[in-house]
Amino acid sequence: MRILALLSIALLSTSAQARAAEIVQDPLATVQAEVAKRCKAPIYGDDFADNIDFNNDTLVDAIFNLGAVNCDGVPGGLCGEVGCPHQFYIHVAEGGYFLAANADLYGYTMKKRFGNMVFELKANAASCGRDDSEYCTMTVRVRGADFETISKK
């Protein structure tokens, strides 16, 4: 099941949906150009970009946390009520990257389970079908370009 379906509460921007099938050579420059359209003076925090093989194919993928952007003097200025936008780019063997998922999250961690990397995503409770104020924690693995839910709490 794709992360986009899992996080139905996540808002997908029109430009992100249009880019989903595009191959880009430099995802960092692509995301920074998108941020520049929304912020006059963005300052990128240390946890803005993460380069890790999250789909276990030996190619280094890229994750961008737009919550780490200080947008015109406002820390986390690109975040909303259900978290901060995160963009997940998968590196393809032919060269370049494509936007595989875009989700509003409160954060994530990467863990190795049974020799494979998995995400522990911290999301809005609605992502787990609840309406309480506690976070939803989902464990997700990525195979190829498919985001598969292992568990939800």
Number of domains observed in the structure of the chain:
1
Q: Would you say residue 14 has pLDDT above 50?
A: no
Q: pLDDT-based confidence at 8, cuts 50/70/90?
A: very low
Q: Which domain holds residue 46?
A: 3-152
Q: Would you say residue 19 has pLDDT above 80?
A: no
Q: pLDDT-based confidence at 114, cuts 50/70/90?
A: confident
pLDDT digits (tens, 9 = 90+) for 46-69: 999 999 999 999 999 999 999 999
In order, the DSSP letters of 41-103 are SEEE-TTSEEEE--SSSSS-EEEEEGGGEEETTEETTT-BTTBEEEEEEEE-TTSSEEEEEEE
Mean pLDDT of 71-93: 95
